Copies of this chain bind each other. A is one copy, B any other.
Amino acid sequence: VNRITLLTDFGTLDGYVAAMKGVLASQAPESMVEDVTHDVAQGGIRKGGQVLARYWRRYPEGTVHLVVVDPGVGTDRRGLAGEADGRFLVAPDNGVLSRVLESAGTWRLVALEPSEILPAPESPTFHGRDLFAPAAARLASGLPLESLGPSVENPVFLPEPAPRSRGGTTEGEVVEVDRFGNLATNLPPDQVRRTGSVRVENLEVPLRTTYGEAEEGELLSLVDSRGRVEVAVRNGSAARRLAAREGTRVWVGRKGV
């Protein structure tokens, strides 16, 4: 059974997502469609890419991941289809695939081009329905990637901010805040394992293996389910406790540097 997953910033209320699902049902009738989320903030390309990183390789090979966070609809940004480690991807060329491309063993991409195989969009403002969903349906139906357009070697790439080392200290930052108020950082896990703690503001936050090693309401750091150093509060919100958000600075190593 073929699966198509769907991540957008459309919300569900207006029926835009359902219009896309209708196209998928019409053009890839044997596929199952699974919702990831439609609650990404409007134009939230970075967050969309981080979410995609959590699930794209958990699905089996052959799955089609359709990602429509597309603030550039109606401009000349390209539409992409691709294959990475056996999973297919369809998305606008705006960097939302960056986390996939940097972690994939192998990938190849094509630029979606109207043709006998892929009809021209009916509306210039709804490529989710008229361009990306038809492309996803074609991949789910087994059409070869190359039939959708010419090869692309230089997709838009949005790097994650890199940590900076000086002396014995590394300065990093919060790169993602989740619903629970957990703070994912870009600090190097190995260095944190050596020092055994992370510094946020004036606090040394001890490294634990899991939430259960901290007291209820206590701050801890750990290596999260994606392998990143995370700052958390057991059964609480580190974001609220520390008034932290994306971009908040964190450190590992000698203090006062």
Contacts and interface: CB of A to CB of B under 8 A. Distances in A.
A125 B225 contact: yes
A222 to B, nearest CB: 7
A60 B71 CA distance: 29
Interface string A103-146: 00000000000000000001111100110000000000000000
Contact of A54 (B11, B19, B52, B211): B19
A166 interface: no
Contact of A13 (B51, B52, B210): B51
Interface stretch (A23-31, A153-161, A190-198, A240-248): A23-31
B122 A180 contact: no
Contacts of A147: none
A102 interface: no
Q: Is the interface of A mostly helix, strand, loop or mixed?
A: loop
Q: Work out how many copies of this chain go into the complex.
A: 3
Nearest to A177: B14
Interface in A46-64: 47, 50-60, 63
Contacts of A51: 13-15, 18
A210 B73 CA distance: 8
A18 B54 contact: yes
B209 A124 contact: yes
A55 B21 CA distance: 8
A1 B30 CA distance: 6
A12 interface: yes
A208 B118 CA distance: 25
Interface string A173-187: 000001110000000
A227 B122 CA distance: 10
B125 A210 contact: yes
Contact of A74 (B25, B73, B210): B210
A25 B210 contact: no
15 contacts: A1-B30, A3-B25, A7-B18, A12-B36, A12-B37, A15-B37, A18-B37, A18-B51, A21-B55, A22-B56, A22-B63, A32-B32, A74-B210, A74-B211, A125-B222
Closest 7 pairs between A and B when the two form their complex, measured CB to CB: A22-B58, A74-B210, A75-B212, A15-B54, A124-B210, A15-B51, A18-B55
Given A15-B52, A22-B55, 4 more contacts: A16-B54, A19-B54, A21-B36, A71-B235
